[in-house]
Amino acid sequence: MNRTSPLISVIIPVYNAEKTLAKCIESVLMQDVTDFELILVDDGSKDSSGDICNRYAAKDSRVRVIHKENGGVSSARNRGLEVASGKWITFVDSDDSIGENFFHDVEAAHEDLLIRGYFMHSMRGKEVERLVLDDFDALPDMTLFINRFIGNNILRGPVAKFFRSRLIGDLRFPEDMKVGEDTWFVWKYLSGVSTCRILYYYYYYYLTTGGPSEMKYKSTTDYAVHSLLHLRDAFEPMSEKHAISPSQFLQFIGYFKCVSKGDWQNNPTLWYGNAEVKSLYRYVWPALNWGQRCRLLAAKFLGR
């Protein structure tokens, strides 16, 4: 293996993950495709995560550990991107794992983005969600694929994918976003690529607490709008590149409306009277059908 230029760079941001980290790392080291580097970015963990990282680095020369002050998951991923030298970049979260032979078929691929399916399970092992893509065309039409899955986890975060490092270039995760930053990154990458390939059979395994995401995250109205404006900046070039209807952005407005509801529900004008919120609705309005428009108007007037 050429240590200076591996086929794949695996970036794992680590923060207080001592309960799941070893399983995550082992799932990477067990791969039969061995031409990779594993970059563990310890983001100021206060538990034994840093020591776990160091132990694996001492045992396997492919493992590199970076210890840094806590700055959040985007900061950790960005630090990994700064030092990654692989032809392909893949991200794994420290409470997740990758299936056997996850790296299969990567070396022979010529596309800009490679995607695998996933299984999502709870702490007790119960399956919560799955996306199996084995029946899809290996080279899907990107417009159809994005339109179908834009609201799915597969296009809302960087895991279960392989990105070409030369196409990532200077692209980095926005560190001033705490919700939606991973979606922003994926959309920005999609806006600059033309082809993707589905890799069959081997999957990414999410671990989830099982609660709905709108319960996991809470937000002020101002922060929700801030995030939405960032996301629109990433959505627009992606939609132009791949002919994605602006109506698809409505679901993301609805999501941030939901997570910020605790802030504005007693004073709806904080949301509906916000000039930037109005600009977001104006952006999607021409692309909405009559049913969507009626539901949107009803929700506003009924204060829902």
User: Which residue stretches of the chain are H helix?
Assistant: 21-29, 49-59, 73-83, 142-149, 165-168, 181-190, 213-216, 221-242, 250-259, 261-264, 269-272, 275-284, 290-301
How do residues 33-57 score in pLDDT, each as one tens digit?
Answer: 999 999 999 999 999 999 999 999 9
How do residues 108-155 score in pLDDT, each as one tens digit?
Answer: 999 999 999 999 998 888 999 999 999 999 999 999 999 999 999 999
Question: Quick check: 123 and 209 in contact, CB under 8 A?
Answer: yes
pTM: 0.94
Question: Quick check: 243 and 143 in contact, CB under 8 A?
Answer: yes
How do residues 126-137 score in pLDDT, each as one tens digit?
Answer: 999 999 999 999
Calculate mean pLDDT across residues 205-224: 73
How much is the pLDDT for 101? Answer: 96
pLDDT band at 178 (very low <50, low <70, confident <90, very high): confident
Residue 171: is its pLDDT beyond 90? yes
How much is the pLDDT for 212? Answer: 44
How do residues 20-37 score in pLDDT, each as one tens digit?
Answer: 999 999 999 999 999 999
How much is the pLDDT for 216? Answer: 54
Residue 253: is its pLDDT beyond 70? yes
Question: Quick check: 39 and 68 in contact, CB under 8 A?
Answer: no
pLDDT band at 298 (very low <50, low <70, confident <90, very high): confident
Q: Can you tell me the distance from the alpha carbon of 164 to that of 166, in angstroms, rounded to the nearest whole number?
A: 6
Place of tokens 């395994």: 205
Share of the chain above pLDDT 90, in %: 88
pLDDT band at 303 (very low <50, low <70, confident <90, very high): low
Calculate mean pLDDT across residues 56-85: 98
pLDDT band at 302 (very low <50, low <70, confident <90, very high): low
Q: Can you tell me the distance from the alpha carbon of 196 to that of 145, in angstroms, rounded to the nearest whole number?
A: 10
Q: Can you tell me the distance from the alpha carbon of 107 to that of 105, in angstroms, rounded to the nearest whole number?
A: 6
Residue 213: is its pLDDT beyond 70? no
How much is the pLDDT for 252? Answer: 97
Calculate mean pLDDT across residues 266-274: 93
Q: Can you tell me the distance from the alpha carbon of 150 to that of 161, in angstroms, rounded to the nearest whole number?
A: 15
Residue 217: is its pLDDT beyond 90? no
Q: What is the mean pLDDT of the chain?
A: 93
CB-facing half-sphere around the CA of 153: CA atoms within 13 A: 19
